[in-house]
Amino acid sequence: MHATTDTGLPRPFVIAHRGGNELAALRDAERLGIRLVEADLRLFRGRVDVRHLKSVGPLPLYWDRWRVAAPSSARLGLGELLEVTSPGTELMLDLKGRRRELALLVRDAIAPHVGSRRFTLCARAAPLLEPFADLPVRRFRSLGSARQLRRFLEQVHLHEVDGVSIHARLVAPRTMEALRDRVRVVVTWPVNRVEHALELASLGVDGLISDVPGVLVAPEGEA
C-alpha cells in the first residue's frame, strides 16, 4: 500500500520535468499515465511563453546552457497549453524570473479552470506566489542552492506555502526533517535513475521530477 500526500497521488509520484514545454512531450507523459506535468513560464512582450529557454533581453532569440533557438522558433503559449492538456493532468507551472506581471497574467489564465482542474504554482521568488493565495491551488517554493534552502528555513513564516521543489543534491535526512516541520509536500529534481529514485524515496520525498519519467513509472498493472 502506498502512502498518499495531499496531492491525492501515491508517494512517491513522478513529475514529468518540462513535460508541458512541448506538445509532443505532454502527449508522451499523458500516454504514460503521469498525472503531474511541469511547464516553465516566462514573460515576453506581455505574453506568457511556455519555455525554459531564456530570451536575449527584448530580442526573440532564445538560449540556455546547451542550446540556442532562432527567433523563428515556434513559441507555445499558456492558453494553448491549457487547451490541449487533459483535464485529469495537473500542471505544475514554474514561474521564471521575478516580474509580478507574469504571476498576474498566469493567475488570470488559470482562474477559469481551477474549479475543474488542479494546479501547482512554483517559483524561486516568493512574491510571485502571492497573487495565488486566494485560489484553490498549491504553492511551492523552488530551492536550488544551499543558500536558498537556508533562507527558506529561516523565513518560511513570512511566505506560507504548501510545498517545496528542491534540488536532489540538497536532500538529506536533516533537511527532510526541517522541511517536514514547515511544509506538507516535498518534491525533488533531477531524478533520472531508478537507484537514485529509491534512495530519495527512502528519505521521504513525495515527488520525483524526472527528465525521463518513463524510466521511473511502473508498468501498468504493477504496484
Q: Is the same domain home to 124 and 83? A: yes
- Written as nine digits, the cell of 98 is 521575478
Domain with residue 44: its CATH number is 3.20.20.190
- Written as nine digits, the cell of 127 is 512574491
pLDDT tens-digit series, residues 143-174: 999 999 999 999 977 778 999 999 999 999 99
Q: Is the same domain home to 41 and 114? A: yes
Average pLDDT, the chain: 87
pLDDT tens-digit series, residues 118-134: 999 999 999 999 999 99
Number of structural domains in the chain = 2
26 domain residue, yes or no: no
Identify the domain containing residue 160 by its residue range.
143-216
Q: Is the same domain home to 167 and 80? A: no
Shortest CA distance to 78 belongs to which of 108, 101, 53?
108
Q: Is the same domain home to 125 and 164? A: no
Q: Is the same domain home to 171 and 93? A: no
Would you state the pLDDT for residue 159?
A: 78
Q: Is the same domain home to 41 and 81? A: yes
pLDDT tens-digit series, residues 38-80: 999 999 889 999 995 554 445 454 434 444 444 445 579 999 9
Q: Is the same domain home to 35 and 131? A: yes
Domain boundary among 104, 136, 168: 136
Q: Is the same domain home to 177 and 119? A: no
23 domain residue, yes or no: no
Shortest CA distance to 163 belongs to which of 188, 146, 138, 145?
138
